[in-house]
Amino acid sequence: MQKVFLTEHIHQDAVSYLKEAFEVVQGTSVKPEDIIQQAQGCGGILIRSAHITAEIMDALPELKVVAKHGMGVDNIDVDHATAKGIQIVNAPYSNLNAVAEHIVMLVLALSKRTVRMDRLTRKGEFAQRNAFQTIELKDSTIGIIGMGKISRMVVKKLSGFDTRMIASDPFVEQKDVEGLPVTMVSAEEVYRTADFVIVHTSLFPSTFHLVGAKEFEMMKPSAFVINAARGPVIDEAAMIEALKAGKIAGAGLDVFEQEPPSAGNPLFSMENVILSPHNAALSAGALRAMAMDSALGVREVLEGKTVTYPVNKL
């Protein structure tokens, strides 16, 4: 019986689905040396946050498929996998709604200063309610950098708030978003005019630090930045400096350049920043869907079937 290695725990329904056809080996560590040791003899690996490097692939001669529990595959050396004939699969539709809802939550929480208002109320500072004005989304401008599946869902969810929505994406034209209440513009117009700048793009070498000091200089001092994609698409140091200098009004972040972030990260002490631990996609429904879709990919490859969600072409 072929063996499948799980680097981290996944939904039990997916484990049971894999056990119908394979021996499932549960890993105890995401350290490369432990993965190499524990995954020997496995034809498939299913990962969450673990990194699958060229070194790991080279050390596992029977490996045929690496499945990502989710959409982003920046923690897999896809080029090396392709060169070795290893299929990479993912779960590209499983967490779209969960992440889109999280982004909308961050927009609303920033506009209403939700976290700050909660803290001052708990501290008995009720009278301070007049010291902070909130923002209505009505008539505000929401700008989006990156117009993929999740961003399009965000547009749909925000469409009832009477906002002006604009977006920039070098691979998307206006005709591609026909039917959505969003206008495609230049990235510069998004940075210069948006009250809320949602950065949502995959992490590639070309998008590393896509938003940095130059872009923060363009933004209005009243603008908020939201990132629930990948931490390194924003230059975190430049964002911290922009926040300190008042060049932007605040930020809502689900992701960080370093994860987990260091205990001394300056973002932790900023009252105008809302943080979450990269859990936008971790709703109950999305967790099951990510596990099932990635497990499906493992079975399809190892059973010689057509792959539903291939990442690379072999």
Q: Is 259 a catalytic residue?
A: yes
Q: Is 69 a catalytic residue?
A: no
Determine contact, residues 195/142, Cβ cutoff 8 Å. yes
Q: How far is residue 61's CA from residue 89's CA, in Å, rounded to a whole number?
A: 18
Tell me how far CA of residue 163 lies from CA of 155, 169, 187, 196, in angstroms: 10, 20, 18, 11
Compute the CA torsion angle 64, 70, 74, 75 (nearest 10 deg): -60
- Contacts (Cβ under 8 Å, ≥6 apart) of 16: none
Type and span of the H or E element at 274: strand 273-275
> 62, 125, 217, 259: which is the annotated catalytic residue?
259
Cis peptide before 260 (omega within 30 of 0): yes
Q: How far is residue 92's CA from residue 202's CA, in Å, rounded to a whole number?
A: 12
Q: How far is residue 76's CA from residue 72's CA, in Å, rounded to a whole number?
A: 9
> 102, 152, 278, 299: which is the annotated catalytic residue?
278
> 113, 230, 236, 300: which is the annotated catalytic residue?
230
Determine contact, residues 185/192, Cβ cutoff 8 Å. no
Q: Is 230 a catalytic residue?
A: yes
**Beta bridge partners of residue 197, listed in sequence order:** 143, 225
**Beta bridge partners of residue 144, listed in sequence order:** 167, 198
Of the candidates 282, 227, 236, the one whose C-alpha atom is nearest the C-alpha of residue 103 is 227
**Helix crossing, 96-111 with 149-158: angle to 10°?**
50
Active site residues: 230, 259, 278
